[in-house]
Structure 1
Amino acid sequence: MFKLRGLQFLLVIQWAMCQNLGDLNLAGPLKDMNFSIPEGAGVRPIYQFISESPVIFRATGEKDGIIDIVPKTGMLYLNGSLDWETKAVHRLQVECLDENGDVVKGPYTVTIYVEDINDNPPKFDQPTYTGVVRQNSRAGKPFMYVHATDLDDPTTPHAQLTYSILHHFPNPYPEMLFQIDSVTGAISPSRTGSYYLDPQKQDTFTLVVTVKDMAGMTTNAFTSSADVIINVKESLWKAPATVYIQENSTKTHPVNISQVHSNEADVIYELLEKEKLARFPFSIDQNGVIYVTEPLDREEKDAYSFFAVTKDTVGELVDKPLQIHVIVTDINDNPPVCENALTIIEVQENEGGGSTIGTLHATDMDEKDTLNSRLKFNIESQVPAVPASNMFFVQQDTGILQLRGHSLNKRIAANYSLKVMVTDADFQTICEVQVHVIDINDQIPIFEKSDYHNVTVAESIPVGTVILEIQATDMDEPATGSSYIIYQVEEGDPDNKFIIETDPGTNRGFVKINKALDFETAEVHNLVINATNPEPLVSGVQYNASSRTLFKVFVTNEDEPPVFQKQVYTANASEDIPVNTLLVKVEAYDPEGNTVRYSLEGDVKKWLKIDSTTGNIYTASTLDREYKEVYKVDVVASETNNAAQRSKIPFVLHLKDVNDNPPQLVTDYPTFFCHPLHGGEKALIQATDVDEYLYSPRITFSLGDDADTRNNWEISKVNYTYAHLSPKHSNFEEKVYIVPVIINDNGKPPLENKVNLEVKVCQCSSEKSCFIKLEHENSKPSVGQAVGILLGVLLIIGAVIGGVFFHMKYKQKNEKKSQQKDVKDQTECEVLNK
């Protein structure tokens, strides 16, 4: 041992002699110092302490047989390897002694921090782990953990561990059935596993789980592995079988009806409604027991579906929702109900025995197609009981009413009242039935006249006019289908020009004009009118000549106006078509065959003309869509020999746009800039185009190409109709500038317009608008202003003098009149006195 230490000491001395420690900053005076040294690496110098006077260096403290100092040279060195796992910090005291052993300097504290290196592989707590997972467990929900430790420094990546699954035996699917949290080692089913794990197919899996240090980020990380054996158990979380609950139960509620079990402990059970109900009559406790909280009524609701769910303490779902089905079973708690308070049946008196005359309908709210809702029918009474007490029969299970073999006779009994008992297994109800015996249709209608001769009407007679009243009678029972009369034109009216309406109270018929008559089409209508009943005649009875009558209508001619072939004429034309272009041909004819002449009315723009003979309409002048896109006029057709006979229909011309208007600059507001300019000013300018565009007008702005404009102004697009005009510098005088602006549209072909835009540079008010400066009082007027002022003063003086002159003349005139009046009055007084 002594020889080994001596050898190590000599190696350190030899290394120190071969190195210039001062150049490497590994030498210096004795003072407090800290060193960080990686663990391992064996014998090596640490630092050399230097003293000006010869001294002996001594080191004491936590040397642990590894750290020492050369007494004569002050070389602090390692004679072995440091180990972080054994000791992470060594604290020493270094001092200088004289030849007598007295301390002349120090002691100073020297602290050596051992730096950890990754020299320990991670190690699992156990070589094999065993876990249990339930079928259908939630994906990502851990069912077990693996854990490993690493002896290296936990504050460094050396001990940062990462878990992963290396192998999966067996692995029947493209994706693993299990997953592991790389940080915590938690093992849980993957999405695939949550769906496919099934103990019937595979109940045991073996996972090879690895753990790496260095956070698994480097290739030289240490790795360990362990086997994880997983047993798959059948899921406890299963939907129970359909629950059947008898309605109107008298048990004390709540009543236990089912139970569910989660695959995991300490979960919170809840029920979720599948449909919104006024009240939800089910609950669940924290053992998974499901209760019905009140009696149920099948007739109110016969089935319920809802979900059972489990949640953890933070409200997250633990298991997949289970759907619970509840069927409410029926009891016989509803009596039969008559569909109608009174069932009325009509039957002809000649109906034969066994004939079905009607059906009595009743319902039962209990479950359909069960004994609880099975109904039986039986006739309890018949009033009157003539000519027999059993005139009717009801089928027990259908409610169909039939006649027995007896014939009905209205003269004996016109009505029968029946009480029918309707029963189910426990209840019974009486339903009322009334049978009306109706007369058979064995009489035909008979006209009072076989010929109503004729009537003469003008062809212009209004539609709806009554031209004849007719009458037939029927001896069957009044106010029935056997006696009501329907009148129809049987012959002579193929175009339905006439219609006959019946007064239901009197059976009187009114012949009316149904469509406009036309002398030119038919001058005479020879009508054959029949009378029938809506109820079929009984066998052996037929309609004959007594149910027919004749009537003749003469139509007189009237001069009618021309008739157009159409109700309205339209045309589409481009606004730039040449003058004299044919737009449309209108046609009219005169019913009497007179010649027709055509003319136009309402052509305020004089855009159109019409050939009075042919009806051809042409353009008469240039069209303009921007003035009127839809141009309407009236076309008049009149008889040549009688202009008063005229007809009029509209003609509508739809004009299609062409690009015939250049864009215009909007000048509704002035363009100005406030003086002095500071830079960055913008003025908004707008352009419009009256032409039609498919989407919107797209107008481009540019400036004139002269040098002055280019040097002073610039223009930038805002959108399709606006742009900004900006000065390019701030050296502008107060005056009006003319800026040439070029605007182009996007028509086909495009049009251009050059506009000289007036732009003012002016002093602005606080409202940012130009204002006019007033001249000072002491400023001298110009020659023109002086002349104007002089003329104004002279005019004012002249007006004043003239006013005075006229006033004096008026005063003199009034005084003269007053003197004359005084003289006249005095004369009259003198005469009276005499």
Structure 2
Amino acid sequence: MSRLMILFVLSFLQTMILVNGQSQLKGYLEDKEFTVQEEVRNTLIYQFLSRKVNSTFTLDGETDGVIEVDPHDGWLKAAGALDWEKRKVHKLKIQTLNELGHIVEGPFSITIIVEDVNDNLPVFNQSEYEGQVREKSRPGRVFLRVYATDADDPTTPNAQLSYSILKQIPDSTPKYFQINNSTGGISVTLNGSQLITAGKQYSLIVQVLDSAENPFSKTAIVKINVTENIWVAPPPQTIKENSTEPHPMKIAQVRWNDNEAVYELHQRDRYPRFPFYVDSIGDIYVREPLDREERSQYIFYVMAKSHNGIFTSQPLKIEVNVEDINDNPPVCPALVTIFEVQENEGIGSTIGDFRASDIDEEASLNSLLEYKLLEQSPTIPFDKIFYLQEITGQLQLQKTALNVQEADEYILKVEVSDRGVPTPLKTVCTIQVNVIDINDNIPIFEESDYGNVTIREDTQLQTVVMEIQAKDNDQPNTGSSLINYEIKEGDPHQMFIIETDRETNRGFVKIAKLLDFETMQEHRLVIHATNPEPLFAEVAYNDSSITQLTVFVLNVDEKPYFNETLYQKQVKEDVPVGTKLATITAIDPEGDSIRYSLQGDSRNWLRIDEYTGEMFTKALLDRETESHYRVTLIASEKNNPHMSASTIFHLFLEDVNDNPPRLAKSYFGTSFCHPVTKPESVVIEATDADAQRLTPFKFSLNPDEKDWKIGRINGTHAKLTMVRTDFEMKNYDVQVIINDQGTPPLESKVHIPVSICSCTSKNECDTPPEENSKLPSIGMALGILFGTLAVIGLIVAAVFISINQKKKKEGKAADARDPAETRPLDS
């Protein structure tokens, strides 16, 4: 077969494959639907057959000059390439005509669905992006977003895009930046949050890639500037103890991003003595010399607050390490350290470990100790019977020369020195070695089983559960006869301990941890009795040194407990009524149902679901009324409400701009002398009841105000100044408009009363202006007073005359009817 024939066959097979969804490539005329891939030329789609001889095929519809049918053999084909982006579906009609041009068959509907291929590249909406990010930004917080599109079919992988960072310049390991592969959001990584610094510039080569089998990609440049975040913790500070430098001594400083902060120090732990403070500009001082032996490290926090007391950001951790100096000598473990050794011990046997201490810094030369054996007394049968390891302090037998009849006690003098600089400190300690008889008797319990004991689960710690006793017939008051008790089985959580009376060897089984019936109802304890000294080679412990004790735990109805010791929530003060604040959870050890309630809800702001513990607001909150609201949470057993627990819920209200600005004080009484010789002015101050005063305030006047102008002094003050001087002598009311910087901004219109008046020599108003004066003069007041008295006099006279006339006419009867009216006149 020739090469040309092979190529023809391969081309034909490819054409066949490109026709999808058909079981065969020919058939009689009928409605048909085909799927054809775009961008493929000379595609044979289907061969239509006619039931009528001598007929020809015709095709009408959305052929776009590409789709055609052979009029004689009925082959439907795409002579050129279809384009999904131009037309996604082609609607066609096919029919056959006879020799006269009349329709013989059809028309039939042909639908050709164009299958998209990945023939479009993704495109960024910008070739270059610029953004900025603050150092120490939160990892994962998007500060810039890139965006790309793809003209291919969005329902196929051809247009499903993913983003990635190809390269970071300058490069780093690990990477500082990350991109969300779906959204294109760029953020810093955890390492970037910690390592990028202000002033640095980075470039990212960002790639967008479609998801086709043979994908296309496009890249863009992202330029990033790192800006400073000066609210950063200083590095750990090291201060030498017992410093002789002048105090207070500055040790560190912090700065908020503006100059309006108030700084506070807060202890992480409650120190008995806290010798640090911070000043108004953020400098941190130590008040007095520190002692490393008192505390080697201080960790506390510095917080920045606004002048309204609102914390502006997360606190910064301050770490102060106290540097050790060699100011403490080694300390002997006791006035006399006593060891025991059996007289039959061999060479190299360990007698004990001698451990002195040094309270200087651990793992430093100042506390690294060396031991040196200075003398042995007595030297019977000879000297240097003992060996003391110089670093570990292990005391061993160097010679087998012990004989309890010759010497039952040895006194050793040991020099202990540290390696501090410039001069090591030394101490001499005493060791007493008692030579004892061999340990050839084992402890034997009086009882092999101490039976059962039942105790309540709420029994206090250190309560004695049982007393046990074993006997040992070895030499009294030696390690051979001293008994140690140990629980070997039945106590996996170390709920019990055994303390021993060294005089009597009596053991006391005590509660070490609080018992819990719900966790374990029964403890079967297996107790062993042993000696500190090793047994003689031919002797071994047996069952006589083992006893048993079974402890049953009695269930007690316990109070519920909250799964958190403190609940707190911060919300904006304008949250809608019914906003969920938290879900409170309490647990009853016995599994009883819990009922929740509130106490101390003095403002009736909150409610809690009795059954679920969900807390909601039930009224509008107001930060200006109460910014930190506390209520008590109560969890009670359903079947025994007296069994309850309580904790505190703290609600912190975040301020919103719900208070318009206002004047900080009254300006009533502002006056200027007439005639005005120069433009006078009034300084006014504004304030805001919101937690964070939304300054700077904006001051303005009504547009039609021609006599005054206003100028800003700072964020809270402005100067109201005359534009002219020819003011009449009267009262004026100047309206000032004040806007804050909240979202949305609030506005208020305030009035500044100004009086232009005649003045005395002291530049004080002599008399108020005539116009607009609402207060009467002294003369007017006297006239009104005298006029009123005259009218009253006339009325009294008229009444008096009238009464006298009635007396004459009616006599005493009229007086009896109205005695109260006549009584004042008779007096």
Place the TM-score, normalised by the shorter chain, in its bin. 0.3 to 0.5
Larger radius of gyration: 1
TM-score by length of 1: 0.44
